[in-house]
Chain A
Amino acid sequence: MYRHSHCEGFQQDPTAQELGLAGPEGGLGPLEQLVAWMRKRSLFVLAFGTGCGAIEMRPLMTSRFDAERFGIVNAATPRQADVLVISGYLAIKTLKRVIRSYEQMQEPKYVIALGSCTINGGMYWDSYNTVKQVHRYLPVDMYINGCMPRPEALIEGFVALQGRIARGEPGGYQRYRERIDWYKANQRRVLGDNMLPDYTYDWYHAGGIA
C-alpha cells in the first residue's frame, strides 16, 4: 500500500533528472539528421486519458487547433504510438496500466505529462492514491504545466519535444533502459504487491535492441 510516509512530497531525487545521458558527440550525421527529421515530423500520440487534463486533448486534435499540421495524430494502439501523453493526475491503480502501455510502445518513444498533478501532485498533493512526480516511475521527456494546460500550451510542448528530437538529444526511453532498476524500484515501492509481473519488463535487462 502507498502510505503517507512514502509520499515523495516535493523532494526531488537529484540524480534522477539532473544527470541526462550524453548526447551524440559532434552532432548528428546526415542520415541521422534525416531520420530525426522524419521522427520529428511524425508523432503518433497515445493519449492516456488519466485525469481532467484529457479534456484538452480533444480540441488539440480536432479542427480548432489541428495538431495534424505538426504531424501529430492519434494512434489506435500503444504499439503504433511514439508519444505517450499522460494527461493529468495519475492514480496508483492507473500507473500500473500506464507502465504496461509504455513498455509496449516501440522505440524511439517519448512521454509527455500534462498538468500540475503530474509535476508535483497539484491539488492532489496529499492524496493517498495518486503519484506525485511521474518522472520517478516513467521517464518523462516533457512536462507541460498548468491546471489544465490550454491547447496552445500543449502545442508549445509538442514543438519543444520536436526540437529535442531534431537535435538528437537522448530521449527518456534511453534513460529508462539505462536506469531500469531505479525505475522499477520506485514502481515497486508504490505498487507493492500489485507490481507488474517480471516477464513484462525483463527483456529490458537483456541489453541491446531486442
Chain B
Amino acid sequence: MHYLLDIPAMIATSYVLGFLFYGFYRQYNARIQRRWGPSIFQNLYDNLKFLFKSETLSHGPMFFFGPMIIVSGAVTTVLFIPFLKDSIWLQGFSQHGNLILIIYLFVLGPLGNALAVGSSGNPFGVMGVTRGLTRLMGLEVPFFLGLALVMLQYETVSVHAIMAAQSSIGEWTLVTNPIAFLVILLPFIASMNAAPFDVVGAPQEVYAGPRVEFGGRFLGVLMTQNMMLSVGKLVLLVDLFLGGATNLFILIAKAFALFLLITSISAVFPRLKTEQAVDFFWKVPLGLGVVGVVATVWLQ
C-alpha cells in the first residue's frame, strides 16, 4: 500500500523537478546570451507536445523496445535512489538496493540507445552512439573511481548509510573528501550530457545523434526519461556529497545548487571533440582520482 503511493510520488517529483530544472536551464542560458528566453515551463510544453504527436515511423520491433528499455532503466534508477533521509516517503525500493546496483542501472540507457539506433540504421544515429560509447569509456573510469572513493571512505555501499554518516555540514563528503567530489564532478557533467562534453547529441555535427530517427511520441518518451534520470543523478550526488535532505525543500535547494554549478560550467565552455573529451577524462579526473585513492588508503 505504501509503495503504491510512494512510487508515483517519486516519479512525479522527478518529472516535475526535471522540467522545471531544464526550463530554468534554458532561461539561464538565454540570459547569458542576453535574450529573454522561453518560459520556465517550456520543457513541459515540448514534452507534452511530442507525446501528443503521431508516430508513423517503424524500423522493426527493436526500434520500439529500445526507448522502452531506456525508460524502464531511468525509472528503475530513480526508484532505487532514496530522495529523503530519515523519512519513509520518497524512498522507492532503495532499502533493497545499493550504490553498486545503481551504477549497473546507469548503463541501461546507453544500451537501449545502441539497440534502437542499431536497428534504425541511420548513419548519424550510429555516429552518435559511437561517440556516446567512446565518451562512456572516458567518463566511467573516473566516475566509478570517485564513487569507489566514497564507498571506501564510509566502508559501505548503502546510500542510506552514507547519508546517515553525514549529519552536519562539517561531515558532508564534500567537506571531508573534496577530492572525490572533484573526481566525480567532471564525469558527472558529461553524464548529464552538458557542454563541454555534449559530443553525443551535438545538433550541428550528428543531427541529434542517437535521437536522429526518433520523432513524435518516441522523442517525447526519451525526453521524459532524460529529465527524470537527470534529477535522479542530481539527487544521488546530493545524497552522497551534500548529506542528503530531510525534506523536499532542502532536497530541491541542494539539487538546484548542484544543477546551477553544472549549468554555469557548461554555459561558458564550448564543446570538446570526442577524443579531446576522453583524453581529458583520462588525464585530469583520473589523475586526481589516483591521488585521492593514495590519500584515502595511506593517510587514513
Interface residue ranges, A against B (CB under 8 Å): 35, 38-39, 41-42, 44, 62-64, 66, 68-69, 71, 74, 76-82, 104-108, 203, 209-210
Given the interface pairs A69-B36, A69-B38, A76-B212, the reply to whether A107 lies near B49 with Cβ below 8 Å is: no
Interface pair A106/B54, CB less than 8 Å apart: yes
For this complex, 19 residue pairs linking A to B, each with C-beta atoms less than 8 Å apart, are A35-B52, A39-B52, A41-B42, A42-B42, A44-B46, A68-B30, A69-B35, A76-B203, A76-B207, A77-B215, A79-B214, A79-B215, A80-B214, A105-B215, A106-B53, A106-B57, A107-B53, A108-B53, A209-B56
Interface residue ranges, B against A (CB under 8 Å): 26, 30, 33-39, 42, 45-46, 48-49, 52-57, 203, 207-208, 211-216, 219
Chain B interface, >50% SS class: loop
Q: How far is the CB of B63 from chain A (nearest CB, A)?
A: 12
A82 to B52, CA, bound (A): 12
Chain A interface, >50% SS class: loop
Q: Which residues of B contact A63 (CB under 8 A)?
A: 33-35
Interface pair A107/B54, CB less than 8 Å apart: yes
Given the interface pairs A38-B49, A63-B34, A80-B208, the reply to whether A71 lies near B42 with Cβ below 8 Å is: yes
A107 to B43, CA, bound (A): 19
A106 to B33, CA, bound (A): 31
Interface pair A41/B45, CB less than 8 Å apart: yes
Interface pair B38/A210, CB less than 8 Å apart: no
Interface pair B56/A69, CB less than 8 Å apart: no
Q: Which chain A residue shows the least CB distance to B51?
A: A38
Q: Which chain B residue shows the least CB distance to A69?
A: B36
Q: How far is the CB of B273 from chain A (nearest CB, A)?
A: 19
Partner of A68, one of B38, B53, B57, B215: B38
